[in-house]
Structure 1
């Protein structure tokens, strides 16, 4: 129970709140909401604490794979240093193939959202998460092929992602640590051991 005890002071996102989040993710598909979808999907699927992981993501970080059963999934193509559950930086990097984000048949499919996001990025951009295009924000985004500029989101701005996400989805204010707690609790409930979760 070590890792779960360490995260007990970060509240997990309640099922009722997760339902609100899923509803938002399945019904909204505009410039702002799409970047929120992608950020949330990567944060919770790859059990990231946020800034240390997200600021290093590039468009080339994303790899789409067709699984053995024909179900597509997404992986991160490079190793990333992550904080461990005790708050420090681990000496060893996690393997790129260790974590996967699978496609679903729902309107809120995270893999579909990432693909759409990539198609709306500036062709010369390198970072995955970039600033909004003013034209796409102000006008009808369907009239603009590019929704995101080639300017990366600043490191400091990542701290506002979770408050903005909570506000937009209509849930109470959680921290990015709550995403980690929620993912870890879900894995524990599914029967994974602490060793497997870590």
Structure 2
């Protein structure tokens, strides 16, 4: 039962079935009977875990397991201490209230790959990078959170799920590798 760590490129759908306009996981992974343990929006990039084991998929993706997920978000505007504190606290997004999380301002990561296509840049509008760790994963949650505090997300990269991280298991966009299941037990 393999556990595959895949760095999903921007614009790729988190599915194997054909899509009329976009690439899918099938364009990158030719491994029979694997499925994503969770999803990542087409306009988000980064870490996606895949497996052929239903129990393992459930252990990784089910909300009750509260696997922390870490994202790097490039946002429009300057992230203030007040905005970061709002991101850490439960945040009412209208249809649900988020769980507390972690949010901190970071420097633009030197190791991150360029996005294709590049994000839109406005000369008169600065951007900030935020590292966010949440234990939920509702539809477009991070983008909705940053927008709710006045910092629309321009680029979103998931870099970690539980013990698996692109920092410790580096793969470039569109690439994958099999990882050791013992790390999940740890």
TM-score clears 0.5: no
Range class of TM-score, shorter chain: under 0.3
Q: Which has the higher helix share?
A: 1
